[in-house]
Amino acid sequence: MLVQLGTRATTGDVVDLLIECHGRIRRFLVLAHRLAEAAGCPEPELRDTARQIARYFAESFPLHVADEDQTLAPRLAGLGGDVDRALATMAVDHRVHQPSIARLIALCVAIGDDPSRRAALSDELARIAADLAASLESHLELEERVIFPCLRRLPAADRAAIGAALRDRRAR
């Protein structure tokens, strides 16, 4: 089985919500790599897996980027030092990742539409998944090391407002 779905925690803390998002990003990149290597896998499973990966990166991943760019960055900007540098790096990374994310989505859509194309697309899919995993791991680690501790130090009311904004973005 290529897909192993987990459950979402019900915690309301904004940092915990963001850590869950990071976990999903990592899991879907592992899943993309598994899809690239899934020779002999039944076509319905290939189709479903590819569609889940494409849907995640086309729908959920942009919400996470918007959370960071539109909700977190404005609240933390101006704190100086490592935080401002991390926010600047985060914003640049979001732009740099877009072409690879778009290609990952396109490859998964192609496999989802015609699973017999998996073999022909597997090398490119494996390369894109590996490149993204390396690049995004560095990105996620920076956020977890520098940005998330700053979020934890915000007053509870501010963290609650950020969490509400994240949940509201997903409800739209």
Is 7 inside any structural domain? Answer: no
How far apart are the C-alpha atoms of 71 and 63, rounded to whole Å?
A: 11
Q: Check residue 172 and give its pLDDT.
A: 80
Is 96 inside any structural domain? Answer: yes
Q: How confident is the model at residue 135 (pLDDT cuts 50, 70, 90)?
A: very high
Share of the chain residues as helix, strand and coil, in percent rounded to the nearest 5? 85, 0, 15
Of the two residues 39 and 126, the one the predictor is more confident about is 126
- Which tokens go with 100? 């690879």
Mean pLDDT of 63-86: 94
- CATH number of the domain that 151 lies in? 1.20.120.520
Whether residue 9 is predicted with pLDDT greater than 80 in this model: the reply is no
In total, how many domains does the chain have?
1
Is 41 inside any structural domain? Answer: yes
When the pLDDT of each residue in the chain is averaged and rounded to a whole number, the result is 92
- Quick one: what percent of the chain has pLDDT higher than 90? 87
* Domain extent at residue 114: 14-171
Is 1 inside any structural domain? Answer: no
Q: What is the pTM of this model?
A: 0.90
